[in-house]
Amino acid sequence: MYSEKVMDHFENPRNVGKLDDANAIGEVGNAVCGDIMKIYMKIENGIIEDVSFKTFGCGAAIATSSMATELVKGKTIEEALKLTNKAVMEALDGLPPAKVHCSVLAEEAIHAALKDYSEKTGIEIDLPETKQKFDCASFHKAQSETDA
């Protein structure tokens, strides 16, 4: 069901915990479905020097958070803005269809942290157009209707 990479990032997540000197924090999710991601970043001179996460959710949510932090660590803000849920899924060698929403949340959490940084510092960042926010309640309802 899950790739070896997903299992590795779930069992041995990278960059876990609160980053005390973070100057960018993004939180996304929905307590109703149980997936909440919080990304912490330390950005200096336009480079993401350090990044960490705290995620409450399933194994796929933890794995996608871990991989997303790995994909943006050491990158410029511009490079991190290009992170997509598809890139997260590809880096993990795929996700089951019912868990794709976890990669969407990881992308949104990274972008939310970068937006927070922009608002705190006044540094203008060309944020991607806001995608439709992931609504896990609607997703799970559609899944249950598909499964029926």
Assess whether pLDDT exceeds 60 at residue 3: yes
User: What's the pLDDT tens digit per position in 12-50?
Assistant: 999 999 999 999 999 999 766 688 999 999 999 999 999
Please compute the mean of the pLDDT values over residues 115-138 and round it to a whole number: 76
Assess whether pLDDT exceeds 60 at residue 143: no
Long-range contacts of 95-102 (CB under 8 A, 24+ apart): 95/2, 95/6, 95/60, 95/64, 96/1, 96/2, 96/60, 98/143, 99/58, 99/60, 101/35, 101/134, 101/136, 101/139, 102/35, 102/57, 102/58, 102/60, 102/61, 102/63, 102/64
- Domains (ranges, CATH) in the chain? 4-147 (3.90.1010.10)
pLDDT-derived band at 126 (thresholds 50, 70, 90) equals: confident
- DSSP for residue 98: G
Assess whether pLDDT exceeds 90 at residue 146: no
Active site residues: 33, 102
User: What's the pLDDT tens digit per position in 50-106?
Assistant: 999 999 999 999 999 999 999 999 999 999 999 999 999 999 999 999 999 999 999
